[in-house]
Amino acid sequence: MQGYRRHAVFYSVMRWLLSPWLKGYFHLAAEPAPAVPAPYLVIANHTTDFDSLFVALSFPQQMYYVASEHIFRSPFLRRFFAYMLAPIPKRKGGADVSTAMQMVRRLRAGHNIMLFAEGNKSFDGLPCPIHSATAGVVKASGATLITYHFGGGYFTHPRWARTLRRGKVTGRIVGVYTPETLATMTEAQINTLITNDIAEDAYARQQAEKIHYRGKRLAEGIENALYLCPACKGIGTIQSKGNAFACTCGLHGRYLDTGYLEGETLPFDTLTAWCAWQRGELAAMLQTHSETAPDPTAARDGMRKAASSKADNANEATTTSAPNMLESAPTQDAAYAGNTVIAAQATALAPAKQQMRVAEHAPAPFTPPDTGAPSPMVAANADSAEAIPPTTLLWDAGQTLLRILPDHSAEVAAQGTLSLTHTGLYCGTFHCPLSALHGLEVYGRSTIVFSDGAGNRYQVRSQTERSGLKYFEAYHFLKGRRD
């Protein structure tokens, strides 16, 4: 491959330079890989943004990484990575046959490849499913398969979190499978083998090891994962500060350095349990909501016509007068004092904050005001003729929709309020019908990516902390019902 020598030198130098810091800061214990002749395909579970660096400590021989294409958004980074590492871009938000083809070509040419087959990091500490085409690449390449397992990464750098923690990370070789062995197996068997080898249940491990993962502001960003309150069934009503989090209804708790949740009224002590509950609850809400809701298209048209400058001013006054919980909340949360203050201030913020609820579950359902004046939420974007369907269960203001271009750069396509209904996805004046909405995924903490029926790919960024996970899970439920 052109540039291989340069790539191999850069790999070796960076591995040598970063090894002391990775081992010291993260308390990383990486098992050395056995001497396996090239080419080989290393497949590992994905737990942190540092996994690519971690795994290199076990493999001194140069590898090409399969990397999410979002790292190529910056023109500088795009050129740098292409020149020094030549990673294989993996698209999210739609089918990507080119990634598999590039992997097979490089393996057949005698180069090693590193793949995180789950393609996602976990929000709840449980394994993510691997792509069904993984075994096809393994068999087509004719290369040796090495499975690699990380432990402790989920609590070191939770996907939803803003900060790092220092505890313990382990990396070990699970299995080495020769091409001859793989040739006797079906693709289903290979996928099962990989799934079992790289599976990591973070809380099951923590229950046995009880490692402390120390850091600062441990709870901040937890609303990216916990989007549904178990007390009031509010969607997007949880906020975090320091080690504490609270809902506008008064529910509050703390995130401990062991990864567990603590609070007098919390019904769950792990993110695994909370996420499992909210997934089922959201599905039930969507089921009820989509059966009783009228077509929002007509409602959007009517709300556009109702938008006026008077409502714009009303909305501006509401927004300006609302206190900012994250600015005014205390930095200490000892003895739950901080939690109580956060809950009180979050409640004060409620009039200007999103509080989406299903009528039969919540004391404060969202309904457009019947005053003859337009809804403030509609008027907020009256200049762009944006409207939120009154039947919307999921929505967030302050979103930017970007169209991803063929060279991996992006351009602004729309701005405004993001909403998802049983008829499709809306952002400002943009609308993608549910039938044309494909491959909706999340990368990072909350960035949403998807493609439309014409093959265009998009990503949605938020000005504020908002959960992308709720859209991901709602999308899969709605598409599953439709298909």
141 and 37 both lie in a single domain: yes
144 and 248 both lie in a single domain: no
Whether residue 312 has pLDDT greater than 60: no
Q: What is the CATH number of the domain that holds 375?
A: 2.30.29.30
Query: Amino acid identity, residue 41?
Result: L
Instruction: Flag whether 238 is in a domain.
Output: yes
150 and 83 both lie in a single domain: yes
Say what the pLDDT of residue 464 is.
Answer: 87
Tokens standing for 389?
């369907």
**Beta bridge partner(s), residue 91:** none
Q: Are strands 457-462 and 238-241 parallel, antiparallel or unpaired?
A: unpaired
Tokens standing for 450?
């998807």
pLDDT confidence tier of residue 330, bands split at 50, 70 and 90: very low
What DSSP designation does 235 have? B
Say what the pLDDT of residue 331 is.
Answer: 37
Which has more confidence, 458 or 68?
Answer: 458
pLDDT digits (tens, 9 = 90+) for 398-430: 999 999 988 888 899 999 999 998 889 999 999
Instruction: Flag whether 216 is in a domain.
Output: no
118 and 266 both lie in a single domain: no
pLDDT digits (tens, 9 = 90+) for 173-195: 999 999 999 999 999 999 999 99
Instruction: Flag whether 144 is in a domain.
Output: yes
Alpha-carbon distance of 12 to 232, in angstroms, equals 53
448 and 324 both lie in a single domain: yes
What DSSP designation does 405 have? P
Say what the pLDDT of residue 165 is.
Answer: 97
pLDDT confidence tier of residue 386, bands split at 50, 70 and 90: low
Whether residue 340 has pLDDT greater than 60: no
Domain containing residue 91: 4-209
Whether residue 365 has pLDDT greater than 50: no
236 and 204 both lie in a single domain: no
135 and 78 both lie in a single domain: yes
Q: Which of 149-163, 363-377, 386-400 has the lowest mean pLDDT?
A: 363-377
Say what the pLDDT of residue 293 is.
Answer: 58
Q: Which of 71-75, 127-131, 134-138, 446-450 has the lowest mean pLDDT?
A: 71-75
Say what the pLDDT of residue 352 is.
Answer: 37
Say what the pLDDT of residue 181 is.
Answer: 97
Instruction: Flag whether 215 is in a domain.
Output: no
Say what the pLDDT of residue 95 is.
Answer: 53
pLDDT confidence tier of residue 343, bands split at 50, 70 and 90: very low
| Mean pLDDT over each residue of the chain, to the nearest integer | 82
Which has more confidence, 410 or 309?
Answer: 410
Whether residue 474 has pLDDT greater than 90: yes
151 and 293 both lie in a single domain: no
Alpha-carbon distance of 330 to 217, in angstroms, equals 12
Q: What is the CATH number of the domain that holds 167?
A: 3.40.1130.10
271 and 156 both lie in a single domain: no
**Beta bridge partner(s), residue 44:** 116, 148
Say what the pLDDT of residue 390 is.
Answer: 54
- If we measure between CA atoms, which residue out of 165, 173, 127 comes closest to residue 29? 173
Question: How many CB atoms lie under 10 A from the CB of residue 360?
Answer: 10
pLDDT confidence tier of residue 480, bands split at 50, 70 and 90: confident
Q: Which of 160, 175, 209 is the last residue of a domain?
A: 209
**R_g of the chain computed on alpha carbons:** 24
Q: Which of 116-125, 328-337, 418-427 has the lowest mean pLDDT?
A: 328-337
Instruction: Flag whether 415 is in a domain.
Output: yes
Q: Which of 154, 175, 209 is the last residue of a domain?
A: 209
Whether residue 389 has pLDDT greater than 90: no
Instruction: Flag whether 63 is in a domain.
Output: yes
pLDDT confidence tier of residue 81, bands split at 50, 70 and 90: confident
- If we measure between CA atoms, which residue out of 334, 343, 203 comes closest to residue 265? 343
Mean pLDDT of 320-341: 37
Alpha-carbon distance of 454 to 437, in angstroms, equals 10
Into how many domains does the chain fold? 2
Say what the pLDDT of residue 288 is.
Answer: 84
Q: Which of 209, 235, 250 is the last residue of a domain?
A: 209
Whether residue 79 has pLDDT greater than 90: no
Alpha-carbon distance of 345 to 322, in angstroms, equals 10
200 and 229 both lie in a single domain: no
Instruction: Flag whether 346 is in a domain.
Output: yes
Prior bond of 39 cis (ω within 30°): yes
Whether residue 141 has pLDDT greater than 60: yes
Alpha-carbon distance of 160 to 444, in angstroms, equals 8
- If we measure between CA atoms, which residue out of 2, 30, 252, 292 comes closest to residue 152? 30
Say what the pLDDT of residue 310 is.
Answer: 34
Tokens standing for 100?
């598999």
158 and 37 both lie in a single domain: yes
Say what the pLDDT of residue 296 is.
Answer: 47
Q: Are 66 and 103 in contact (CB under 8 A)?
A: yes
299 and 446 both lie in a single domain: yes
Q: Which of 204-213, 264-273, 366-375, 455-464 has the lowest mean pLDDT?
A: 366-375
Beta strands in 32-94 (DSSP E): 40-44, 64-68, 88-90
Whether residue 329 has pLDDT greater than 80: no
Alpha-carbon distance of 30 to 42, in angstroms, equals 14
Instruction: Flag whether 141 is in a domain.
Output: yes
Q: Are 83 and 3 in contact (CB under 8 A)?
A: yes
